[in-house]
A and B are shown apart, each in its own frame.
Chain A
């Protein structure tokens, strides 16, 4: 969902990071995508193509790794992985569904691979 605005943000941040390091062209972008964001990879890649046009990120390849969700039970403190398949946020230890999500909800720009001009 909202792959368009996510792609725009990726381009903006990648271009900014590249400029800060004095590089001219980004050839690949490594991203970690939390599964709770329910991003469709093909939709993100298409949106990225549009967003990156005429920028130093144009033509860059997206490398996506997934981050599985992790939760802490607010009732008993147990850490576990909620199930997206069965939509269950039940704590296996105390059977309450009162969780704080500590991973799986973020999209992280991990690194850029760039062309660097030799001196």
Chain B
């Protein structure tokens, strides 16, 4: 004969990723570098931003880059000659990077020698928002051709951002992009994160971005 009994558990189902992320956070905090999680749609300019940034930081500020993609090594190849260390993380069908993948990649890097770790997440405005990697700062990119309605549509991601980069701003007029609408939506979702307007082509905003990096690095190290 069987009887029913209740077992009290009270456990966080998502603890597996959280535990690894917390471990990563501790390792990164002790290492003296600034770790950034770059998140956006595909094609918004994450890799181009790294191509513009790393040479400007120079050899006195070595950069490690983790590139997350389902397939190909093309982004890692683009930054390969520029960064001190590049690791391509191919997720297969995975739509976001996980803390476990980052933990594994961290083992192969001499963290103490690096000034910055740029984690270029899989191009996706939905899933990366749910997965803490252990980073110091979350940077969200929105490119002008994507449209000015994306803050409203993907508010979870924008709410988490420590910095918001509007990229390809040289196309604002051609695309009819309404920056005022983006700012109005951000005013409801995230008033903490600064917004920097960037153009890789014209160089607009790059200095502001580099200044922000420098300030953030001072804050965490």
Contacts and interface: CB of A to CB of B under 8 A. Distances in A.
A109 B2 contact: no
Contacts, number: 100
A108 B9 CA distance: 9
B4 A116 contact: yes
B3 A31 contact: no
B193 to A, nearest CB: 9
Interface stretch (B105-113, B152-160, B164-172): B152-160
Interface stretch (B12-20, B44-52, B77-85): B12-20
Nearest to B1: A118
Contacts of B8: 110-111
A10 B15 CA distance: 11
Interface in A56-96: 74, 86-90, 96
Contacts of B103: none
B68 to A, nearest CB: 16
Interface residues of A, number: 38
A23 interface: yes
Interface string B172-206: 00000000000000111111100000000000000
A6 B188 CA distance: 30
A113 interface: yes
Interface string A8-30: 01100110011001010001000
B12 A108 contact: yes
B124 to A, nearest CB: 11
Contacts of B6: 111-114
A87 B188 contact: yes
A23 B12 contact: no
Contact of A89 (B5, B11, B13, B159): B159
Interface of A: 1-2, 6, 9-10, 13-14, 17-18, 21, 23, 27, 31, 36-37, 74, 86-90, 96-99, 106-118
> Which 7 pairs between the two chains have the least Cβ-Cβ distance?
A98-B192, A87-B155, A107-B13, A115-B2, A97-B191, A112-B7, A88-B188
Given A1-B127, A89-B190, 15 more contacts: A2-B127, A2-B130, A13-B11, A23-B7, A31-B13, A87-B152, A96-B192, A97-B191, A106-B12, A115-B4, A116-B2, A116-B4, A117-B2, A118-B1, A118-B2
